[in-house]
Amino acid sequence: MEITEKSVLEAAAEYLIPVPLRLPVVVKGEGVMVEDINGKKYLDFAAGPGVMPLGYSHPEIVEVARNQVGVLTQCPGNALNVQVVELARKLAQISPAGLKRSFFCNSGAEAVDAAVKLAKRHSAKNGKTALGVVALEHGFHGRLALSLSLTGMTSRKKGLSAYASFPGVHHIMAPYCYRCPLSYPSCDLYCAQSLERFFYTQIPADGIAAFICEPLMGVGGVIVPQKEYLPKIKEICQRYGVLLIFDEIFAGFGRTGKMFASEHSGVIPDIMAVAKAIGGGLPLGGIVATEEVGKAFEADDHYTTFGPNNVMALATGLKVIEIIEKENLAQNAAKVGEYLLSELKRLEEEHMFVGDVRGRGLFIGVEIVKDRKSKTPDPELTKRLKQGLQERGILTSITGNYANVVRLTPPLTIKQSHVDQVIDALRGTIKGL
């Protein structure tokens, strides 16, 4: 049977449980480009999303994966392997100071689950009995029961009832300045202070184990907090004895122009969740915790079959970090990202439907509205822009609670010439609307 775009679409419709998979049918990738089943090439400005920091078929990643699969792909049972220790050591070296002890798993959702479980275990050992968790509106932490409950996006929870209502999960307002009725800085960081208000109006702090947030909110619409936000959150957490968890699953490993997004604020969490980019295309996630918090787990408190034993993914993860450092890809993300942001700001000035352009490094969102005065989200126009870009050979993604943010998260290896290609495609798409 000949495999064609049509045959793949028909088979997907017949055999797959409905998932957000759509055209193009990609069969090959090299560098920052992918190729579909018809031979058309695309510049990938989604990168996975976010899981291909080095682009596709990086020769050193290919070599490591090929060599490892011929030696040992999975370590048996509870046996120790060299790669898990070496990757944990490397994470301790590159993570914000004080984060030392790691646990590895398969995905971001599992990393969040492990982070919350560790925080609850630590809090229980320190005498807390009610172990709630506070998260943010517009935040996204995954699609499993706990991580979906932590997610502040109802569109991800429709029809799921109690499955997406994990006990003890609470939400406060996000630092979403573009859609806040107050004005910064006269607002006195009302969003951050809402955490302290929560302790007085909803659940006392001795009933809360942790506060979790993304230092830069990805699926919620590429929401960048004001510089004082995370320091204020940290100060409140410390004052009330609540652990701070940073979800760096999307923003980590150079994407924002620094190895981790939290470094822009100088705030160090008690636990950090990582995934996506670290695997370089292979499933890999994990958490890194401080010495004190990391030792809250005893040997049999938490485990997963593949995470600490998936030697192939662990070896690849170690090489991904090495290449990011060796090729100065965080610095490249900062430099090329600044150029991309400036070019997009020019489009914002020219077109009233571009409500806001925001981001850091190569983590950028363009919020599309009906007009700037009302700020009414325009998801239909957003879809047309994405489709127009795809027709012109650019792959992007749509994100945000209102499905009106075009998200740009390309491989960290892109060059200024790739940005020019995207801007030209955007201008052509806008002209054809």
**So what's the pLDDT on residue 2?**
86
Sequence-ordered list of residues with C-beta below 8 angstroms from that of 284, at least 6 positions apart, any chain: 104, 106, 275, 278, 307, 310, 313, 314, 316, 317
CA dist list (Å): 131 to 10, 120, 125, 136, 168: 48, 6, 11, 17, 7
Q: Each residue of 353-390: pLDDT tens digit?
A: 999 999 999 999 999 999 999 999 999 999 999 999 99
How far apart are alpha carbons 299 and 214 in whole angstroms? 28
- For residue 204, whether the previous peptide bond is cis, meaning omega lies within 30 degrees of 0, is no
Neighbour order of strands in the sheet with 354-360: 354-360, 363-368, 405-408, 397-399
Vertex 26: Cα angle to 257 and 418 (nearest 5): 35
Q: Which amino acid is at 319?
A: K
CA dist list (Å): 270 to 43, 122, 246: 38, 11, 8
Whether the CA torsion 341, 346, 351, 352 is positive or negative: it is positive
pLDDT score of 394 more than 80 = yes
H or E element at residue 35: strand 33-36
The answer to whether 356 and 348 have CB atoms below 8 angstroms apart is: yes
**What is the arithmetic mean of pLDDT over 174-180?**
97
How far apart are alpha carbons 364 and 373 in whole angstroms? 22
**What is the arithmetic mean of pLDDT over 337-345?**
98
**So what's the pLDDT on residue 16?**
92
Average pLDDT, the chain: 96
Choose among 138, 143, 190: nearest CA to 166. 143
**So what's the pLDDT on residue 20?**
79
Q: What residues does 223 pair with on adjacent strands? A: 217
pTM for this prediction: 0.97
How far apart are alpha carbons 287 and 293 in whole angstroms? 11
Q: Which two tokens stand for residue 301?
A: 């408190």
Q: Each residue of 287-322: pLDDT tens digit?
A: 999 999 999 999 889 999 999 999 999 999 999 999
How far apart are alpha carbons 433 and 347 in whole angstroms? 15
> What domains can be seen in the chain, in order of their start residue?
5-57+328-431 (3.90.1150.10), 72-326 (3.40.640.10)
Q: Which amino acid is at 255?
A: R
